[in-house]
Structure 1
């Protein structure tokens, strides 16, 4: 098999990771710092919060799995298919949008709304993938599970932490 035979599968796996890597470097530098506590470290989080060092490897595996699943759907359908791969592209864009909302804007309420929509899009994509290729659907299951955890974590942070960008006096609240 030549390299050109493997390019579609490699591209499908690399593409989702590109957005994750870009978000990681742009928005997560402060979170990865050693020695000083970041604003993320100071948030009230539940006891079941995964350690920070787990997020990179987990997202790399999830992005690679969903990328390979998209390749299987593409291959099974003989090219681009409107519904499954449009859902995939939509959920991928939503996935990449969460990080700037949560870590960039620090808008926990909007991040929760966004991740709730994202979770629905991931479930819809998974169902569409199952309808085309069972293996592709199964590759999405860990992503669905992680999205459940991520959605619950985002909700907890929103409900248990003040918005760092809010002004209590402007909002009519006392300090």
Structure 2
């Protein structure tokens, strides 16, 4: 049913929308004061990318849900992993932009990367299309993880509660 597909596709956007509350004030102030690598995408690229990624990962989760017959014992691991990675995804923004905890954000995103790989591995036998729909997300996380690492490495004094030296 198309309403289920729509619901699954919209779900990841809820956390993304809440994350927007943390970024909207922090990007022009705190984030712009950070040292960032020259290869980072422009700020305007992030909401466009996340909109596409959240929609595709949500739809992919719908395919897994449908092919496992809904929320049942067959869906526990694949959808549980998906839910766990989504929680870490949603947690990154308040950790990074809200709390300015760069090291914790790095730990979060590296853990997220591992959970996305595990999610994809668990989805492959169920629905190969859903697994392929996660590939752009994994690619973007590779970029985001590298960016988070570089920002953490180059801005140790920028965490809240730490003084500049």
* TM-score interval for Structure 1 and Structure 2 normalised by the shorter chain: over 0.9
Hey, what's the Cα distance between the residues in 1 that align with 2:162 and 2:105?
A: 19
Q: CA deviation at 1:21?
A: 1.1
| RMSD, matched Cα | 1.4
TM-score by length of 2: 0.93
Structure-to-structure mapping, 1:7-156, within 5 angstroms: 7-24=3-20, 26-31=21-26, 37-80=28-71, 81-156=75-150
Instruction: Name which one, 1 or 2, has greater alpha-carbon Rg.
Output: 1
Structure 1 residue ranges (4+ consecutive) displaced by more than 3 angstroms after TM superposition: none
User: Which consecutive unaligned segments of at least 5 residues does structure 2 have?
Assistant: none
Q: How many residue pairs align between the two structures?
A: 161
User: Which consecutive unaligned segments of at least 5 residues does structure 1 have?
Assistant: 169-173
Q: CA deviation at 1:158?
A: 0.3
Hey, what's the Cα distance between the residues in 2 that align with 1:135 and 1:145?
A: 16
Hey, what's the Cα distance between the residues in 2 that align with 1:120 and 1:67?
A: 18
TM-score by length of 1: 0.88
Q: CA deviation at 1:126?
A: 1.2
Paired residue for 1:165? 160
Q: Which has the higher contact order (CA 8 A, sep 6+)?
A: 2
Q: CA deviation at 1:132?
A: 0.8
